[in-house]
Amino acid sequence: MNNNPLKIGYLGLGIMGLPMTLNLLKAGHTVKVWNRSAHKAAPALAAGTTQGATPAEVAGASDIVFINVTDTPDVEAVLFGPNGVAAGAKPGLIVVDNSTISPVATREFACKLAGLGVAFLDAPVSGGDIGAKNGTLSIMVGGDEATFEKVKPVLAAMGKNIQLLGPVGAGQACKACNQICVLGNLMATCEAIKLAQAMGLDVQKMAEVVSAGAGGSWQLQNLGPKIAKGDLAPAFMIDLALKDLAIVLDAAQKSGLDLSGTAMAEQRLKQAKGKTDGRHGTQAMITAW
Amino acid sequence: MNNNPLKIGYLGLGIMGLPMTLNLLKAGHTVKVWNRSAHKAAPALAAGTTQGATPAEVAGASDIVFINVTDTPDVEAVLFGPNGVAAGAKPGLIVVDNSTISPVATREFACKLAGLGVAFLDAPVSGGDIGAKNGTLSIMVGGDEATFEKVKPVLAAMGKNIQLLGPVGAGQACKACNQICVLGNLMATCEAIKLAQAMGLDVQKMAEVVSAGAGGSWQLQNLGPKIAKGDLAPAFMIDLALKDLAIVLDAAQKSGLDLSGTAMAEQRLKQAKGKTDGRHGTQAMITAW
């Protein structure tokens, strides 16, 4: 499939990273993986990846290294910690960060890597575990155009709508906008379901007909039926959503911007975490009422 | 197209009623219209409807009469005012109300009509003027199943997702849930756009990539580009949205339900109305910041 196949590294095989890695394999790429808990790489190895002992080892063997870990300090550790990417990187390496982290820290990381001759793109994604499995993610990219053009064909194995939004950090800035919509639409979904229940409507039918009109959203269409069934299993965990909302509200504060709706969604999620468990899916927001 | 064509009446040719009437004509029905401002019927007449002088006249000549007017008192006047539907209706008539009004008043109207041998469905719609023109509206119906089955083939000329949600009033209850999503998703859309602008992103590109992921909504996809261009022309007017939100919040209050997110969206719309004009489209919510 690829005349001059690239050597790809993927660091972080969580609920998103694993299916994204599998789609890279399906597209014909050679992939070497690393995960903090090494045994969790088993499904990737079974599908045909190799495994590195450290991020440094994977970086040394790759043309492009993807990172998909939880938070800003995790990306920092994978990049610059002992046996991190920076310790193994050869000049010319491209690092692509699929994690959702701070736009400000992102610019610092890119700057340090540039000093080693390593290019960087921030490329957070949206579309949930479903989008990761089906290769239909939205990918929001920040970085320079030349690097973007080199990486875009590889990103196409994992996502459908791939946009370069500006210089390094712009991908994370766009992801912050995305999370405002994700959690704000979820709050509206929960309020609609609470009223539907109060008025004796079938929640499943309500979600179906509202999804098809001007009230439609990914959240209502995908999480409405889960809420109707009482299924709180995580696709996107409350704890991760709260991490993302902290990034969003920090960015808003730095801009002097009033995001009261987003702040209220954060409060509902915190209530739900207190009442149930932060490891539930975000649809557990419904328990806040 | 119809072996036994029905005689349809349509009362109220506004931004939604007119394109819905045109789709009834396209489906091969005979349609007689009435509008409070008679001259606004011109495009319907040009397309092949006839015109009645009063709701009573239209009702007397029809098998099914649709109503699409602004608020609860308007529906009451069209039904029970001088020369209203009740004055001209023959037993066996079916009245279908496409307006968005109070579920409680809806049940009262249906009860009074039943006394005259007239059947009633509440059938509010969603999907905006675009959905009305393209015949892709969501139609949320309340009423008995036998009446619904008779009217469903006619509704199919105007909408794609047509659901019977329960007895009379259930359509309006579902529309209330729909409006929670419409205005809540719009508030999230506006907050995302404000942050995008503060962080120097291209709003159009942000809206495009976020629309394709888990943050996607009809509101972002359809109104995001309008906001990016500063286009405040009404598809759905602020004044009408505020009328709908009053119905939603009244229903919530009667159920003892906390819809703080919806109440905040109402507040944003009121701010926007104060700063600009209630006859702008709801996307003018962006001016509240």
Give how far A134 is from chain B: nearest CA, Å: 12
| A:B CB pairs within 8 Å | 272
Per-residue pLDDT reduced to its tens digit, B168-227 = 999 999 999 999 999 999 999 999 999 999 999 999 999 999 999 999 999 999 999 999
Taking the C-alpha atoms of residue A52 and residue A49, their distance in angstroms, rounded to an integer, is 10
So what's the ipTM on this one?
0.93
Taking the C-alpha atoms of residue B255 and residue B238, their distance in angstroms, rounded to an integer, is 25
3-state helix, strand, coil in chain B (%, to 5): 55, 15, 30
Per-residue pLDDT reduced to its tens digit, A188-225 = 999 999 999 999 999 999 999 999 999 999 999 999 99
Per-residue pLDDT reduced to its tens digit, A64-118 = 999 999 999 999 999 999 999 999 999 999 999 999 999 999 999 999 999 999 9
Taking the C-alpha atoms of residue A98 and residue A93, their distance in angstroms, rounded to an integer, is 16
> Nearest CB to B259: which of A162, A191, A261?
A191
What is the Cβ-side half-sphere exposure of residue A181, based on CA atoms within 13 angstroms? 36
Alpha carbon dihedral A7, A13, A19, A22, in 10-degree steps, equals: 30
- At A37 the pLDDT is 95
Q: What are phi and psi of B152, to 5 degrees?
A: -50, -45
CB atoms within 10 A of CB A182: 30
Q: In the predicted model, is pLDDT for residue B230 greater than 60?
A: yes
- Assign A183 a pLDDT band (cuts: 50, 70, 90): very high
Q: Is B170 on the interface with A (CB under 8 A)?
A: yes
Between chains, do A209 and B185 touch, taking CB under 8 Å as contact? no
Q: Which CATH architecture has domain A7-167?
A: 3-Layer(aba) Sandwich (3.40)
User: Quick one: what percent of chain B has pLDDT higher than 90?
Assistant: 96
For residue A194, indicate whether it is catalytic: no
Give how far B257 is from chain A: nearest CA, Å: 7
- At B4 the pLDDT is 59
Q: How far is CA A260 from CA A162, A178, B188, B265, in A?
A: 29, 16, 10, 10
Domain boundaries, given as residue ranges, for chain A:
7-167, 173-288
- At A77 the pLDDT is 98
- At B1 the pLDDT is 45
Q: Which CATH architecture has domain B173-288?
A: Orthogonal Bundle (1.10)
